[in-house]
């Protein structure tokens, strides 16, 4: 009888287009499908509240999907280098398969691969969660790209792999111990702040595919209006990619499939946004401290203000007196999501009008966004700050009033989230936009000075 194979899932909570799961099934014996909740290993960043909520429901959906195919999801909690070998011993597995990670946690995988192979266990890892692997897209000098446009041009020259079919059925050992998902405490209880998330989202692979089809058939034709937050013109696929309920390869092939003429005109624009995700992961692969270190070292000289508690709380709670900023922060708190244009505006306001360190804002988004991942979240904050790769120049300050006039001219989005905007209860701005912009530009002189002395 063929020994079991272990398919170790991470941010790839899907059955279709899952090379590691496919390899475990093709191994020929029973398949132990393992999800390990690891917040202890070095290089692992503990999840924020919103992503913990999503993870709970995505795992529940995956367990149901596997059960419908005759399989079973095994849940364990603890450090990977302890738990994975233990599960191998318990099950008698002679092969372990996983899809590759690209942050600091890849060092865990490398050590495990060496250890398991030393125990005569077959180990294989696969490209599954990016269109192109970071080390395959480099400049002519063999260095990582630091500017998006040439990166994406080069990335598009790489072949995109074919889709991996989902197994129709699989057999999983039933005797393997598994944690109870509810015991992990991923859901908020006291207080239960997730009502807006439950109303807005349905996690899971099936829901992800429904959303992709809806976007391609009903929304992509209007994608050229994606900067208008009151319009339904964006994909809302980011949390699906975050947890791997969809792969970018699935999205790529669908965007090259059957489309209306209007949708086809926008397909390239949409895929370039998927390309930004690829670029951010390339940046993280080569700079694993992206969430806490300036990509551009000269920004270490920036004189951040010590944040006033009242100002920071006003920003977090959406009561700054700046309508577009407040609308975005309230959307975030209610739904775990914020429109991308508004993300840039709210981040710019914190960094450049309040002079609060981008890392403080990044941590808040990490805790409150359902799509926060370890590459995109810090890379986007550093882009706005001016400290990142291909970053907006520091002197480019998003004026939230002008942004509202241009992208929410009828205040539909603002009124949705700040209904008191036309009444007497709305607060005065906590900061003067013109004066605070001038102060930010003056502070930037410290960075310019540090740059010239290098």
Domain boundaries, the chain: 1-129, 130-159+206-286, 297-452
pLDDT for 2? 87
Active site residue 315: no
> What span, in angstroms and rounded, lies between the C-alpha atoms of 355 and 440?
7
Active site residue 273: yes
pLDDT at position 275 over 70: yes
pLDDT for 407? 98
pLDDT for 219? 98
> What span, in angstroms and rounded, lies between the C-alpha atoms of 434 and 443?
15
Tokens standing for residue 444? 């930037």
pLDDT for 3? 95
- CA end-to-end span of the chain: 65
- Average pLDDT value over all residues in the chain: 96
Report, as an integer, the average pLDDT of 28-46: 96
Considering the candidates 40, 107, 273, 439, report the single residue annotated as catalytic: 273
pLDDT at position 392 over 90: no
295, 283 Cβ separation under 8 angstroms: yes
pLDDT at position 264 over 80: yes
Active site residue 276: yes
Q: Which fold has domain 1-129?
A: Rossmann fold (3.40.50)
371, 360 Cβ separation under 8 angstroms: no
Report, as an integer, the average pLDDT of 308-313: 96
Active site residue 184: no
> What span, in angstroms and rounded, lies between the C-alpha atoms of 315 and 139?
40
Which class is domain 130-159+206-286?
A: mainly alpha
pLDDT category at 390 given cuts 50, 70, 90 is: confident
pLDDT for 277? 98
Q: Indicate left, alpha or beta for 175 from its phi (over 0: left) and psi (-120 to 50: alpha).
A: alpha
pLDDT at position 404 over 90: yes
Report, as an integer, the average pLDDT of 14-30: 97
Q: Could you give the dihedral angle defined by the CA atoms of residues 404, 408, 409 and 413, in that order, rounded to the nearest 10 degrees? A: -110
pLDDT for 138? 96
250, 216 Cβ separation under 8 angstroms: no
**What are the backbone angles phi and psi of residue 293, rounded to the nearest 5°?**
-125, 140
pLDDT for 44? 95
Considering the candidates 8, 276, 281, 366, report the single residue annotated as catalytic: 276
Q: Tell me if 1-129 shares its fold with 130-159+206-286.
A: no
Question: What crossing angle do the helices spanning 358-368 and 49-68 adopt, rounded to 10°?
Answer: 40
Instruction: Tell whether the torsion through CA atoms of 5, 10, 14 and 18 is positive or negative.
Output: negative
Report, as an integer, the average pLDDT of 362-377: 98
pLDDT at position 70 over 80: yes
Considering the candidates 152, 281, 358, 383, report the single residue annotated as catalytic: 358
pLDDT at position 174 over 90: no
Burial of 360 (0-12, 13-18, 19+ CB in 10 A): middle
Active site residue 304: yes
Report, as an integer, the average pLDDT of 404-411: 98
Instruction: Tell whether the torsion through CA atoms of 8, 13, 18 and 24 is positive or negative.
Output: positive
Collapsing DSSP to helix, strand or coil, 176 comes out as coil
Active site residue 358: yes
Verdict on whether the full-model pTM lies above 0.95: yes
Q: Which residue has the higher pLDDT, 148 or 43?
A: 148
pLDDT at position 395 over 90: no
pLDDT for 394? 72
Report, as an integer, the average pLDDT of 24-45: 96
Q: Could you give the dihedral angle defined by the CA atoms of residues 132, 133, 135 and 137, in that order, rounded to the nearest 10 degrees? A: 10
> What span, in angstroms and rounded, lies between the C-alpha atoms of 93 and 338?
43
pLDDT at position 451 over 80: no
pLDDT at position 71 over 90: yes
Considering the candidates 98, 315, 381, 383, report the single residue annotated as catalytic: 381
**What are the backbone angles phi and psi of residue 35, rounded to the nearest 5°?**
-115, 125
pLDDT for 454? 59
Report, as an integer, the average pLDDT of 11-40: 97
Considering the candidates 40, 133, 252, 340, report the single residue annotated as catalytic: 340
pLDDT for 393? 75
Report the candidate in 109, 79, 82, 78 with the shortest Cα–Cα distance to residue 96: 109
Q: Which of the following CATH numbers is that of domain 297-452: 3.30.70.980, 1.10.579.10, 3.40.50.740, 1.10.630.10?
A: 1.10.579.10
pLDDT at position 343 over 80: yes
């Amino acid at each position: 009888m063929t020994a079991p194979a272990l398919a170790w899932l991470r941010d790839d909570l899907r059955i279709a287009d899952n090379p590691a799961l496919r390899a475990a099934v093709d191994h020929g014996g029973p398949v132990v499908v393992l999800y390990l909740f690891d917040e202890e290993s070095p290089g692992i960043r503990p999840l924020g509240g919103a992503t913990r909520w999503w993870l709970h429901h995505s795992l529940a959906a995956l367990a149901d999907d596997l059960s419908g195919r005759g399989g079973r999801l095994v849940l364990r909690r603890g450090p990977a280098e302890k738990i994975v070998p233990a599960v191998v011993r318990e099950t008698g597995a002679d092969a372990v398969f996983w899809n590759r990670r690209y942050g600091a946690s890849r060092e865990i995988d490398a050590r495990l691969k060496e250890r398991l192979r030393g125990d005569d266990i077959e180990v294989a890892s696969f490209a599954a969660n990016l269109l192109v692997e970071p080390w395959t897209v480099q400049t002519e000098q063999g260095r990582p790209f630091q500017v998006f446009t040439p990166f994406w041009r080069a990335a598009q020259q790489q072949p995109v792999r074919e889709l991996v079919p989902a197994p129709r059925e699989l057999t999983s050992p039933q005797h393997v111990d598994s944690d109870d998902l509810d015991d992990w405490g991923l859901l908020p209880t006291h207080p239960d702040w997730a009502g807006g998330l439950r109303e807005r989202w349905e996690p899971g692979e099936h829901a992800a595919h429904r959303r992709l089809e809806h976007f391609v058939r009903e929304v992509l034709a209007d994608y050229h209006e994606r900067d208008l937050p009151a319009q339904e013109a964006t994909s809302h696929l980011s949390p699906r990619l975050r947890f791997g309920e969809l792969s970018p390869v699935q999205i790529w092939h669908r965007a090259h499939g059957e489309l209306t003429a209007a949708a086809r005109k926008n397909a390239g624009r949409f895929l370039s946004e998927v390309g930004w995700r690829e670029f951010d992961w390339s940046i993280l692969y080569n700079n694993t401290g992206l969430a806490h270190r300036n990509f551009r070292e000269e920004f270490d000289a920036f004189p951040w203000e010590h944040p006033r508690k009242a100002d920071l709380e006003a920003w977090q709670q959406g009561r700054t007196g700046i309508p577009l900023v407040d609308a975005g922060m309230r959307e975030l708190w209610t739904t775990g999501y914020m429109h991308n244009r508004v993300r840039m505006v709210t981040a710019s306001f914190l960094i450049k009008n309040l002079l609060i360190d981008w890392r403080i804002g990044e941590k808040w988004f990490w805790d409150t966004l359902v799509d926060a991942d370890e590459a995109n979240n810090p890379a986007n904050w550093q882009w706005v700050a001016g400290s990142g790769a291909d970053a907006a120049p520091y002197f480019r300050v998003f004026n939230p009033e002008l942004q509202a006039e241009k992208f929410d001219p009828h205040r539909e989005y603002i009124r949705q989230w700040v209904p008191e905007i036309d009444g007497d209860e709305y607060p005065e701005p906590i900061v003067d936009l013109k004066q605070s912009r001038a102060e930010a530009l003056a502070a930037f002189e410290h960075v310019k000075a540090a740059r010239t002395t290098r």
